[in-house]
């Protein structure tokens, strides 16, 4: 399962984002370090279910909308110099190692200082918080590398020693690959064998961006002065209201409204008996959604999965005519695959044994047998034929 981490300074709305995205219980309060241990939950990427296109009944979607599970980690707040251990920083930075990508939550309202303490709305320049997290994470990576650097340099004297491969081993716990090490070296424009401290810091900054890509979410945008929004708009930011999304999901759960995560609007239930305060609250959320085309929470999750990590959704079936599995369930599974994946890759993702016994695949939409080297497309429905089941 793909895992995203929610990171940022204290009191920027991470736990509200986490709860809104997962409806899991998470303590929410207006003071730093409400979250001490990382919270783990399941969120969903939103995609179109092919059931309507294929004209088959499906019990695994909602009005043609399919939600594919992804892991979500709510990492406790990071403060300046977290990479030196300040504010329990190393513990929380270490939680990020499990993530494929990071959702950097920024307080778009400018209502919290660098430490996460409440200040007047607009008092803090939210742009400063963007650089802060990227700096802390890259310096944490540099700390790991620098502790091993003297040993690596000695080993590099051997003619057949690969310094890049050794660095990849050093960062293996972060899921860093040799290819990413080489890419980061090229981007930093350095020679690892002669690199000094500044070179290595630059290298770690590039490696962080490549191995742990970040998406910036300007949370609390419903409270933000226009000046703060304008500052953040210069960056690739998704504006969001986690509090608004949480209110909608709770209202939908209580059947007060009709709403699917990612919708750009909601429909009140005419039979719901809403108080004046509830109606006013929903009206504010509706106004925000009209301005920003939704609450931004589902958009952030989808952008991280489909754009940042470049994934597609593929539907494996056992019966290419009825689009069912062996139990007769229609389109029971939806897999997030790397773009460029092949039917053989899908077979391995379904099960290692099926991958090892792979014979060929059938495109259920066309009924045609396809090559094992075919590049799969988003929304493909594929039957795997294997000697093993």
CATH (domain of 128): 3.40.50.300
Distance CA 290, CA 31 (A): 30
Q: What is the mean pLDDT of residues 233-242?
A: 95
- Using the 3D structure, point to which of 250, 284, 303 is the last residue of a domain: 303
Residues 263 and 345 in one domain: no
Residues 227 and 116 in one domain: yes
Give residue 381's pLDDT band: very low, low, confident or very high (50, 70, 90).
very high
Residues 337 and 283 in one domain: no
In a domain, 149, yes or no: no
Most confident listed range (96-105, 136-145, 204-213, 215-224): 215-224
Look at residue 389 in the predicted model and tell me its pLDDT: 67
On whether the pTM is more than 0.75, the answer is yes
Q: Is the pLDDT of residue 229 over 50?
A: yes
- Using the 3D structure, point to which of 283, 303, 323 is the last residue of a domain: 303
Contact 354, 388 (CB under 8 A): yes
In a domain, 378, yes or no: yes
Residues 317 and 285 in one domain: no
In a domain, 67, yes or no: no
Residues 26 and 90 in one domain: yes
In a domain, 99, yes or no: yes
Residues 290 and 350 in one domain: no
Look at residue 33 in the predicted model and tell me its pLDDT: 42
Residues 252 and 330 in one domain: no
What angle, 0 to 180 degrees and rounded to 10, lies between the N-to-C axes of helices 127-155 and 163-170?
Answer: 120
**CA distances from residue 239 to 116, 230, 285, 298 in whole angstroms, order as listed:** 19, 11, 13, 11
Residues 237 and 346 in one domain: no
Long-range contacts of 58-63 (CB under 8 A, 24+ apart): 58/330, 58/331, 59/329, 59/330, 60/329, 60/330, 60/331, 60/332, 60/334, 61/331, 62/260, 63/260
The percentage of residues in the chain with a pLDDT greater than 90, rounded to a whole number, is 71
Q: Per residue in 279-322, pLDDT tens? A: 999 999 999 999 999 999 999 999 999 999 999 999 999 999 99
Distance CA 72, CA 384 (A): 30
Q: Is the pLDDT of residue 386 over 60?
A: yes
Look at residue 75 in the predicted model and tell me its pLDDT: 82
Look at residue 26 in the predicted model and tell me its pLDDT: 39
Instruction: Give the residue numbers spanning the domain of 346.
Output: 312-386
In a domain, 52, yes or no: no
Residues 9 and 118 in one domain: yes
CB burial readout 7-20, b (16+ within 10 A) else e: bbbbbbbbbbbbbb
- More reliable by pLDDT, 86 or 153: 153
CATH number at residue 365: 3.10.20.30
Q: Per residue in 141-165, pLDDT tens? A: 898 899 899 999 888 888 788 999 9
Q: Per residue in 95-132, pLDDT tens? A: 777 789 999 999 999 999 988 899 999 999 999 999 88
Q: What is the mean pLDDT of residues 58-81?
A: 86
Residues 220 and 120 in one domain: yes
The percentage of residues in the chain with a pLDDT greater than 70, rounded to a whole number, is 92
In a domain, 83, yes or no: yes
Q: Per residue in 174-189, pLDDT tens? A: 888 999 999 999 999 9
Residues 32 and 79 in one domain: yes
In a domain, 109, yes or no: yes
User: Which residues lie below 8 Å from residue 252, measured CB to CB, with a gap of 6+?
Assistant: 258, 259, 260, 266
Distance CA 105, CA 129 (A): 9
Comparing 139-143, 221-225, 351-355, 359-363, which segment has the lowest mean pLDDT?
139-143
Look at residue 85 in the predicted model and tell me its pLDDT: 58
How many Cβ atoms from other residues are within 10 Å of residue 268's Cβ?
A: 16
Residues 221 and 275 in one domain: yes
- Using the 3D structure, point to which of 258, 278, 303 is the last residue of a domain: 303
Query: How many structural domains comprise the chain?
Result: 2
Q: What is the mean pLDDT of residues 346-366?
A: 94
Of the candidates 246, 272, 244, the residue with the CA atom closest to the CA atom of residue 258: 272
In a domain, 343, yes or no: yes
Look at residue 34 in the predicted model and tell me its pLDDT: 44
Look at residue 114 in the predicted model and tell me its pLDDT: 86
Average pLDDT, the chain: 89
């Amino acid at each position: 399962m793909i895992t995203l981490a929610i990171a940022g300074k204290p009191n920027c709305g991470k736990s509200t984002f986490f709860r809104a995205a997962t409806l899991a219980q998470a303590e929410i309060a207006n003071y730093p370090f409400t979250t001490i241990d990382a919270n783990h939950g399941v969120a969903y990427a939103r995609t179109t279910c092919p059931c309507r296109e294929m004209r088959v009944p499906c019990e695994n979607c909602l009005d043609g909308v399919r939600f594919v599970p992804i892991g979500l980690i709510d990492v406790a707040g990071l403060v300046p110099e977290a990479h030196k251990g300040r504010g329990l920083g190393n513990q929380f930075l270490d939680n990020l190692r499990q993530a494929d990508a990071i959702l950097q939550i920024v307080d778009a309202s400018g209502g919290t200082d660098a430490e996460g303490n409440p200040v007047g709305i607009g008092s803090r320049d939210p742009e400063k918080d963007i650089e802060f997290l990227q700096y802390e994470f890259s310096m944490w990576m540099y700390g790991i590398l620098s502790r091993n650097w003297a040993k690596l340099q000695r080993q590099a004297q051997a003619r057949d020693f690969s310094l890049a491969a050794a660095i990849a081993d050093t960062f293996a716990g972060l899921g860093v690959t040799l290819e990413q090490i080489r890419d980061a070296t090229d981007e930093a424009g350095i020679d690892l064998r002669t690199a000094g401290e500044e070179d290595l810091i630059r290298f770690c900054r590039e490696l962080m961006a490549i191995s742990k890509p970040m998406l910036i979410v300007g949370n609390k945008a419903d409270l933000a002065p226009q000046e703060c929004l304008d500052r953040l708009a210069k960056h690739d930011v998704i504006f969001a209201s986690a509090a608004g999304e949480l209110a909608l999901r709770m209202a939908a759960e209580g059947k007060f409204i009709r709403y699917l995560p990612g919708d750009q609007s909601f429909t009140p239930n005419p039979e719901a008996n809403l108080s004046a305060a509830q109606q006013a609250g929903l009206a504010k959320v509706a106004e925000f959604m009209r301005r920003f085309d939704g609450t931004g929470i589902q958009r952030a999750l989808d952008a991280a999965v489909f754009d940042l990590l470049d994934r597609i959704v593929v539907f494996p079936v056992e019966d290419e005519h009825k689009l069912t599995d062996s139990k007769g369930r229609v389109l029971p599974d939806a897999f997030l695959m790397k773009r460029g994946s092949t039917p053989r890759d899908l077979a391995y993702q379904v099960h290692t044994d099926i991958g090892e016994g792979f014979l060929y695949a059938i495109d259920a939409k066309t009924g045609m047998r396809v090559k094992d080297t075919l590049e799969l497309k988003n929304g493909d429905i594929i039957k795997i034929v294997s000697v093993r089941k």
